[in-house]
Amino acid sequence: MTHDAMIDEWYPVGLFSQLDTNARKTALMGRPIEVAVEAEGHARVTSGDGRSLPVCVRYGHVWSSLGKPQKDLFAIPEADQPGRTLVDVGVIRVRCSPLRAVENFLDIAHFPFVHTDILGAEPHTEVQDYKVEVRQDADEVWATQVKFYQPQAAKSASGGITTEYMYRVPAPTCCVLYKTCPPRPGEWDVITLFVQPLAEDLCDVWPWMALFDDATPMTDLIHFQQTIFLQDRSILENQIPRLLPLDPGMEIPTRADLTSVAYRRWLKRHNYTYGAQLVAQ
Amino acid sequence: MKLYDYVLSPSCYKVRLMAALTGVKLEIRAVDFHPGAEHRGPELMALNPAGSIPILEDGDLILTESAAMLTYLAAKAGPEWLGSGAPEETARLQQWLSFAHRLTASLGGARLHEMLLRPGDIGTLQAQGIAALRELEAGLVEQGLRGMRFLASDRPTVADIACFPYVALAPDGGVPLDPYPAIRLWSRAIRSLDNFIEMPGIHRLHELKREHVEPGEV
């Protein structure tokens, strides 16, 4: 793979709470890296050739980059809001393109079929009209006014509700989802998918959440999100082609795919192509 | 009856599935297996020195082997799941009940490695998993020749429930099921049982679901 713009982005490389002085051996975009915590408590990320890589610790995770990040990691202001429960869901490896993992997270239409009786149920399969834009100031993809009927939208939800969503892609392999918060109307629950690209067709996925939910035990919150993601995993591993197609030649999107179309165009425009297929084969 | 449970564990799912099929209500105690490694913490190690889950607690009885849990649930609530008692059937049932350990060690190990980054020699785990699947495929074909659809009998027994989860989830560990037609038919027969429940990675048979009909519509 030639140099592309994704080299200068921040990527999650580990849970900060799980680091110790024994380095965690992992990889970033095909290169081996090591993640460790130093005696004084700072995270340290080293490339295979011994180079110290940029580090920041945010949203429960250690972030790093093989290149030179031009800006700070994207902000999630809700993460600092008092009263939220912050949930480290833990890593799950998926044999798929990191871009496909994000695109699947942006899709609503699969809920009744893959997350049956949790995030969707037949016959409530219609994706109503919603809005998609690339916000020029922040250079992020946003989908708003997304509404969907859900039998059990969150661990804190009892019974079916029509849930409202906003999706936000602030970085090529990260997605932030804002979702109706059953115990606290007016606020949004924040559910993220941070994806570490190990190779173009292999990734470690680090879901993370910032929720208003005092009632549900932490383990139940973790298991709820792991359940959802593991329902997606087998689908993701079977998608063909393995890389995310950025050439529109082979696929016909529908109205429900507006977010995916905007995401793919945004990737292409920025030359974010690690894990992408540029010419239909 | 209290089950120390992890939602992504195929061994825990065996017990949840058996309980659902026999109509037993379980009290679920969620264990933070990943990322928290709670099963290796003092509370659970005191219950099960092996440091594994599931653990099933019923009064004074504490079980740490899933085969024993399936047998206990069947004996209490669904004796037909223990077979007819005929010598050959009993032997086959015990044979596959023990065989399930090989599936756990091989396919289960491959799945933990590929999914949750647990250490292991992935090539060896997958090769051992494939060997076990071939043996199971042959066993099911032979049962088919005897006119039986399940591992020990013409009706499902605890042996089928012991083997089913790790087999159905083999693709999670990078072992495809495409080469095994008898296994796929058997898996379908299990998934279409009344009161079957799924787990992440084992999808419901949508096409068997009854169409929703409003009262008075017919």
pLDDT digits (tens, 9 = 90+) for A53-70: 999 999 999 999 999 999
Within B2-65, where are the H helices? 10-22, 42-47
As a whole number of angstroms, the distance between CA A79 and CA A77 comes to 5
CB–CB contact B212 A204 (8 Å): no
Report the predicted TM-score, pTM, of the whole model to 2 decimal places. Answer: 0.93
Give B 69-128 residues with CB within 8 A of chain A: 114-117
The Cα of A230 is separated from the nearest Cα of chain B by a number of Å equal to 5
Strand, helix or coil for residue B101: helix
Which residues, including other chains, have CB under 8 Å from residue B91's CB and lie 6 or more apart? none
Euclidean distance between the first and the last CA atom of chain A, given in angstroms as a whole number: 18
B34 in reach of chain A (CB within 8 A)? yes
Instruction: For residue A89, give the chain B residue with the closest CA.
Output: B35
CB–CB contact A233 B34 (8 Å): no
Sheet holding A24-28, edge to edge: A24-28, A31-37, A43-47
Which site among B40, B111, B172 would you substitute to test the A interface, given the most A Cβ atoms closer than 10 Å to its Cβ? B172
Four-way CATH pick for A82-277: 3.40.1030.10, 2.60.40.10, 3.90.380.10, 3.30.9.10: 3.90.380.10
A223 in reach of chain B (CB within 8 A)? yes
As a whole number of angstroms, the distance between CA B5 and CA B199 comes to 12
- Please list every residue in chain B whose beta carbon sits closer than 8 Å to the beta carbon of residue A234: 171-172, 201, 203
Instruction: For residue B206, give the chain A residue with the closest CA.
Output: A113
Closest by Cα among A70, A220, A196, A230 to B32: A220
Domain range summary for chain A, segments of one domain joined by +:
1-73, 82-277
A113 in reach of chain B (CB within 8 A)? yes
CB A214 within 8 A of CB A85: yes
As a whole number of angstroms, the distance between CA A212 and CA A215 comes to 9
Q: What fold characterizes domain B83-212? A: Glutathione S-transferase Yfyf (Class Pi); Chain A, domain 2 (1.20.1050)
Domain range summary for chain B, segments of one domain joined by +:
2-80, 83-212
- How far does CA A194 lie from the centroid of its chain? 4
pLDDT digits (tens, 9 = 90+) for A174-191: 999 999 988 888 899 999
Residue A117 in tokens: 């009786």
Four-way CATH pick for A1-73: 2.20.25.680, 2.40.50.100, 1.10.357.10, 3.40.50.1820: 2.20.25.680
pLDDT digits (tens, 9 = 90+) for B43-75: 999 999 999 999 999 999 999 999 999 999 999
Instruction: For residue A124, give the chain B residue with the closest CA.
Output: B212
pLDDT digits (tens, 9 = 90+) for B177-212: 999 999 999 999 999 999 999 999 998 886 655 566
CB B70 within 8 A of CB B13: no
Dihedral, CA of residue A239, residue A241, residue A243 and residue A248, to nearest 10: -110
Give A 48-107 residues with CB within 8 A of chain B: 88-93, 95
Percent of the residues in chain B that have a pLDDT greater than 90, as a whole number: 93
Assigned superfamily of B2-80: Glutaredoxin (3.40.30.10)
Nearest CB to B30: which of A92, A219, A237? A219
Which site among B16, B29, B114, B196 would you substitute to test the A interface, given the most A Cβ atoms closer than 10 Å to its Cβ? B114
What is Dmax (Cα atoms) for chain B?
Answer: 59
Percent of the residues in chain A that have a pLDDT greater than 70, as a whole number: 99
